[in-house]
Amino acid sequence: MSEKEIKAKTETPMLDELKTGPWPSFVADLERYSEKKPAVGQLLGQLEQSYEDRWNYWQGTVLNVDGYGGGVIARYSELGEQYPDIAQFHTIRVIPPPGWVYSTEKLRELCDIWEKHSAGIMQLHGMTGDILLLGTDNKTTFEAAEELMEKGWDLGGSGPALRTLACCVGEARCEAACFDTMALTKHLTDNYISELHRPELPYKYKFKLSGCANDCAASMQRSDMPVIGTWRGAMQINQDEVGKFIDDKGIEFVIDNVLTRCPTNCISLKGKTIDVDNDNCVRCMHCINVMHRALKPGKDRGATILIGGKRTLKIGDTMSSVLVPFMPLKTEEDFTKLTDLIDSIWEFWGDNGLEHERIGEFIARVGLGTFLEGIGLEPDPQMINQPRTSPYIKFEELTGSKIDGEPEHNPAVSNEEGEMAEKAI
C-alpha cells in the first residue's frame, strides 16, 4: 500500500450499492445495528476503505483464553486511529450443538452474552461449523469466554488441532439417515476435546458427518475425514408406493428422472414395479430422493469412512478416498472401533507429517500403500476410484454362494466379513 492519509469515512457509497439488490443485505442490517453499537458503524467505515483501496486492513495474531490453545481468532485493525472502537476486533469460536439444533432459550442466552461483551455480531455458522461471535477486545474476550463457559458453552478449535465437528441433522429429522450423526458428533467431540482445545497435530483435522450420500454436511469438500452413511444388502422397496408414484407422475417421468439417471443403470421397471440390481447399486441416493415414499435405504446401515478430503488443499481438490467401505455405527463398541482407527491415523501422521501438512497431502506424499501399512489397515479395492478397470486389482472367485446368492456382495460396500470378489494388490 502506498502511503496516503486515510480519514474515517462518513459516507459509504460502495456499501450502499450492496443494499440495492432484491436480497437481504448485511449492510442494511449492520447499519441498523450501528445505532446501538457505534463499533459496527466503524466496521462499515473500514470495510468501505478496504473496497476503495482493495486492501485488507486486518492483522491476525493469537490470543488464548487460560487453559486453551485456540478458539479465539484475534484481529487488530491497521486503521485503529481512524476507527478506535474496532482497533481490537476478535472472534470467538463456540462449539454448536450437533446438527445445529438450538432451543430458543439457548439462542437468547448466546445473544445476551454476546451483546453484553462485544459488538454483538454473530455468524451462524462459519465454514468450520462453529458459532462465530465477532467483536471483542483483549479484555472482553476473556470476560465473554468466562460467561460462555459458566453457562455450559465451550470454545471451538483453531490452529493445528482437531476442529469443531459438524454434521447433518441425521436421524433427528431425516428418514434417509443411515446412522445417528448427532450421537457420533457428540461422542467424537467428547472423546477428543483435549485435541480440540490444545493444538498438537501437524495441522488442522476436520470431521464432517453426513447421514447418507446426499452429503448435506458437504463432508467431502469440507473435511479431512468425511463419514458418510450408507447401507449393505438390498434397498427397501414398497411396490404399492411405486405403483402410486407411477400413477401420479406417469411412466415417462420415472424413466426420465429415475431410471436413466441411475449412474450404474441398475434400476429397472417391470410393469408398475421396480427392480434394483443391488450388487451394482452404488448407494448414490438419487432414486430414493425422487421416490422417497417408495424407496428407502436398506436395513443394514452404517457409514463409509473416507480420508484426505477438502477442497482445496495445497495439492488440489482431493475430495477424499474411501478408507473403510462399511462400518456399523450403532453401539459404543462400533464408536470405539472408529476412535481406534482415528488414533492410529493421528499417531502415524503425528510422527511423520510435516508442519502444515494436512492428512490428504501427507497421504499424497508418502503414498496410500505406506499410509495403510503405517496405520495397520489392509488395502481394499474400494479405495480405488474404478476398481473394475484398474490393473492393480486382482479378481478372485469367492467360494460358496456369496456371489451367486442374494445380496451379500456389492461393488460399493463389502459385507461385514470383508468377503470380497476383488482384492487390491
**Contact set with ligand SF4 (CB under 6 A):** 168-170, 174, 176-177, 210-212, 214-216, 262-264, 266-267, 276, 281-288
Strand partners, 62: 73
Q: At its nearest, how many Å lie between ligand SF4 and the CB of residue 94?
A: 23
Would you say 91 or 230 has its CB closer to ligand SF4?
230
The 8-class DSSP code of residue 4 comes to -
**Residue ranges of the alpha helices (H) in 20-83?**
26-34, 38-53
| Residue in the block written with cell 462465530 | 132
Q: At its nearest, how many Å lie between ligand SF4 and the CB of residue 110?
A: 24
Q: At its nearest, how many Å lie between ligand SF4 and the CB of residue 219?
A: 9
Number of Cβ within 10 Å of residue 161's Cβ equals 23
Q: At its nearest, how many Å lie between ligand SF4 and the CB of residue 289?
A: 8
Would you say 263 or 367 has its CB closer to ligand SF4?
263
Q: At its nearest, how many Å lie between ligand SF4 and the CB of residue 137?
A: 39
CA distance 68 to 196: 9
Would you say 86 or 276 has its CB closer to ligand SF4?
276
Q: Which residues contact 284 (CB under 8 A, 6 or more apart)?
A: 213, 262, 263
Measured CA to CA in angstroms, residue 30 lies from 18, 40, 43, 256, 268 at distances of 12, 6, 9, 47, 54
Q: At its nearest, how many Å lie between ligand SF4 and the CB of residue 214?
A: 4
Would you say 119 or 267 has its CB closer to ligand SF4?
267
Would you say 59 or 264 has its CB closer to ligand SF4?
264
Q: At its nearest, how many Å lie between ligand SF4 and the CB of residue 233?
A: 12
Would you say 110 or 303 has its CB closer to ligand SF4?
303
Q: Considering Cα of 122, then 126, then 132, then 134, what sign does the dihedral take?
A: negative
Q: Considering Cα of 64, then 309, then 279, then 342, what sign does the dihedral take?
A: negative
Q: At its nearest, how many Å lie between ligand SF4 and the CB of residue 417?
A: 23
- φ, ψ for residue 335, nearest 5 deg: -60, -40
Chain centroid offset of residue 424 CA:
29
Minimal CB distance residue for ligand SF4: 211
Measured CA to CA in angstroms, residue 79 lies from 31, 40, 118, 228, 313 at distances of 20, 14, 19, 45, 32
**Residue ranges of the alpha helices (H) in 213-281?**
219-222, 239-249, 251-257
Helices and strands of the chain, counted as H and E runs: 14, 16
Would you say 6 or 282 has its CB closer to ligand SF4?
282
Q: At its nearest, how many Å lie between ligand SF4 and the CB of residue 255?
A: 13
Would you say 136 or 278 has its CB closer to ligand SF4?
278
Would you say 262 or 372 has its CB closer to ligand SF4?
262
Q: Give the closest residue to 193 by CA, choosing from 213, 165, 169.
A: 165
CA distance 39 to 89: 9
CA distance 149 to 405: 56
